[in-house]
Structure 1
Amino acid sequence: MTPSVRTGRAVRKGRGRHPICWLSVIALLIISWITPIHAASVNGTLFPALDPANETGTVTIYSSLDTNLSMPLLEAFRAANPDIAISYVEMLTQDVYERVTTESDRSGATADLTISSAMDLQIKLANDGYAQPVVVPQKDLWPNWASWRNTAFALTFEPAVIVYHKPTFANTEPPHSRVELTKLLREQGDIYFGRVATYDIERAGLGYMFLAMDEKHDRNLWDLVSAMGSAGVKLYSNSSAILQRVAQGQFALGYNILGSYANHWVESHPELGIILPTDYTLVMSRIALVPRAAREPELGKRFLTFLMSEHGQEIMSRQVRLPALHPMVSGKNTFTQMSKTHGSRLRPIAVRPSLMVYLDQVKRARIVEKWNKALKSQ
């Protein structure tokens, strides 16, 4: 039950002039000031300014990142900017794209900042003129591949990994590369039949992008897909379903799983293991941009600057548990540490218009056809 709903009920009861009801109203008004106000899903969650007497505006954010996961970032920004309220609208990646384009085309105002894991859709917004250039102090510290024309900026460094059930591999090494995974499934397919999982590329945008990138980097990709098909691979539209089943031992392996989600699961499921493939490891990033039609573009720029700051990236890594990209932020969950440990095998997906090729329906249909054919080839 939200504070606004509770307040409404207290007012109705207050018609009897009971003093306790008025005290309840006052108490709930105080609560609504210090806690988020959950509105309808289309409007997201409003986080009031911590200093309402001097409030200067509200920054509106459309984001595919779960509101609860974002809380450490939102709280830190509010603490540093007590005069600013935040409207955080959590939505699916496709909805972020469609809402920005629709609102912008109608000559109306849209969000002040968008954050999305759909790299292709974010870069399409920037390429098609829906984003405005932003001068961010930290931009010069970013790797060359991690931004495009000062309009689209990578915020995270999230590898695609192999997850495995440790007890299953107690007496043998799990596969550390795609070649080893293919060999395992070819030679011991009966042992692992029905116990391997990956994304369903027809339902999971991230899974499709990872597979399309695999095709670019691995000439033997379709041998692996064929081997997975012969091993009765299970397909899912999200990471959680796969991670849960690997943790339980129902599955032995999960391929191309987003490492940031896997790291969350490992904290409470020690039976889960994570491998960054030794042949190459794809790395995706969540991308942020300030829309051209932003209602409060300066506030959007301020929030983006915070997200890219060393402090914001520390919070991203330590509390939100998404790998930070800032080169001055070190530790296990960072671009800096992964680069030292894994070096040139890391293949970050560049923030470039070339990503839009994966939105092409003809190319998509071709890859999906090859995928289905390879899965059924055995």
Structure 2
Amino acid sequence: MKLIWTIGAAALFATSLAQAQTLPENYPADYPDLVTEANAEGSLLIYTNLSGDNLNPIIEAFNAAYPDIAVESIEMGPAEAFTRYQAETGTGVASADLVIANSITDWISAVNKGMLDAYVSPETANVPEWSYPEPGLYTISTDPMVTIYNKITVPEGLQLSSMEDYFAAIAESRDVFEGKVGTYDGRYAFGGAIGYAFARYHGDPAWDWFENAGPLTRPGGGAGGMIERTLSGELSSSFVVSGPVVFNRLKQEGLGEVLGWTFPSDGTPVFLRGMGITAGAPHPAAAKVFLDFVLSEDGQYAVAAGNLTPYRPGVITSDELSYSLDEVIEAIGGEDKMILIDYDPEMVETFDAFTARWGEAFNM
């Protein structure tokens, strides 16, 4: 049974912590001084590709604990968050204190360019090591990718969880799937990072699957578009679709009668959504306190309330159509079935070659 933890409960808990001025045992003794400094700064600016629906529950819970720190977020494309910060700081303009984005290649570039404050959070003892792979680079959520089906147009026997079987079915059951399969475009940063990690995990068989089934698919567009096209019957199925977007959409009454989904049973891609304090942050103390809060237990419950996937061990979500990473791992049968879409420097070095090969396999 899932532990019910609403955003109101998280906020109440956070408020009681702040009022009692208690901190976890592993926090440094001078952490209250950091909080005092953050309160004096009084504000925080975030550049992010998260929507308000995703980020507002986190801000609400944070402000319950730290009401003296006003948080502003500006939504933009993931790559734009980095280019805008560089352009502004390059001309001496005050810019973002913190960036939250899901562009693996841009994060690697930001690390290499020294764009991040190498802050060491006291919460690192409580989260997996892979979630902070570089100095200053952290993870806000770990979003699984799923396969979706139109349950009306795809027979139950073809609603497969194994990706090996799925790609075989696309090639063999053309009356159902030909020209009616969606996925992200692997020639671009987000889809390319997923495809790269998928091919790295499965090896040569992945390229056989891509080459056999790729020409029958219609890559392109985001998760919302793939869901709508699958619901309408324009697509019969879509693969490696952002799970949190699917789960949130399924909360609408009746959609589950048409839209089916599954975690890939032979390897579920999990995307690390990055978070980091900028090297030139105008409000560095407030940014540190915010980052620490996001990594904390009540912060991770707030991440779940924002329809994202919390990854801190022990966090269990309150909704049957919501998953924490612990629940994803249990559902897919173990960590060895998890394909972490991580910050592999080799991906950056070979990305052009990968995208060219992917485009050829998918006839694009």
TM-score past 0.5 threshold: yes
Pick aligned residue for 1:296 from 283, 293, 297: 283
Name the CA distance, whole Å, in 2 between partners of 1:371 and 1:330. 37
Pick aligned residue for 1:358 from 339, 347, 354: 347
State the identity as a percent: 24
Match of 1:200 in 2: 185
Name the CA distance, whole Å, in 1 between partners of 2:192 and 2:214. 16
Match of 1:66 in 2: 51
Match of 1:345 in 2: 337
Q: How large is the Cα RMSD of the aligned pairs? A: 2.1
TM-score by length of 2: 0.81
Q: Retained in 2: the 8 A contact 1:112–1:295?
A: yes
Q: Retained in 2: the 8 A contact 1:181–1:224?
A: no
**Structure having the higher Rg:** 1
1:12-51 equivalences in 2 (<5 Å): none
Match of 1:321 in 2: 307
Q: What is the deviation of 1:174? A: 1.2
1:330 aligns with 2:316: yes
In structure 2, the residue corresponding to 1:114 is in which secondary structure?
strand
Q: Retained in 1: the 8 A contact 2:186–2:359?
A: no
Name the CA distance, whole Å, in 1 between partners of 2:200 and 2:168. 21
In structure 2, the residue corresponding to 1:183 is in which secondary structure?
helix
1:281 aligns with 2:281: no
Q: What is the deviation of 1:313? A: 0.7
In structure 1, the residue corresponding to 2:152 is in which secondary structure?
helix
Large movers: runs of 4+ above 4 Å: none
More relative contact order in 1 or in 2 (CA 8 Å, sep 6+)?
2
Q: Retained in 2: the 8 A contact 1:123–1:152?
A: no
**Could you tell me which amino acid in structure 2 is paired with residue 364 of structure 1?**
F
In structure 1, the residue corresponding to 2:96 is in which secondary structure?
coil
**Could you tell me which amino acid in structure 2 is paired with residue 92 of structure 1?**
G
Name the CA distance, whole Å, in 2 between partners of 1:167 and 1:56. 56
Match of 1:373 in 2: 360
Pick aligned residue for 1:242 from 213, 226, 230: 226
Name the CA distance, whole Å, in 1 between partners of 2:134 and 2:103. 18
Query: Which stretches in structure 2 are left out of the alignment for 5+ residues?
Result: 1-38
Pick aligned residue for 1:222 from 207, 213, 232: 207
TM-score by length of 1: 0.78
Match of 2:7 in 1: none
**Could you tell me which amino acid in structure 2 is paired with residue 320 of structure 1?**
G
The structure-2 alpha-carbon separation of the partners of 1:222 and 1:149, relative to structure 1 and needing over 3 Å to count, comes to closer
Q: What is the deviation of 1:61? A: 0.8
The structure-2 alpha-carbon separation of the partners of 1:163 and 1:83, relative to structure 1 and needing over 3 Å to count, comes to same
1:99-118 equivalences in 2 (<5 Å): 99-118=84-103
In structure 2, the residue corresponding to 1:199 is in which secondary structure?
coil
Moved more, 171-180 or 288-297: 171-180
Q: Retained in 2: the 8 A contact 1:162–1:254?
A: yes
Name the CA distance, whole Å, in 1 between partners of 2:115 and 2:41. 25
Match of 2:195 in 1: 211
The structure-2 alpha-carbon separation of the partners of 1:109 and 1:334, relative to structure 1 and needing over 3 Å to count, comes to same
Match of 2:250 in 1: 266
**Could you tell me which amino acid in structure 1 is paired with residue 162 of structure 2?**
S
Q: Retained in 1: the 8 A contact 2:183–2:218?
A: yes
Match of 1:36 in 2: none
Q: Retained in 1: the 8 A contact 2:147–2:261?
A: yes
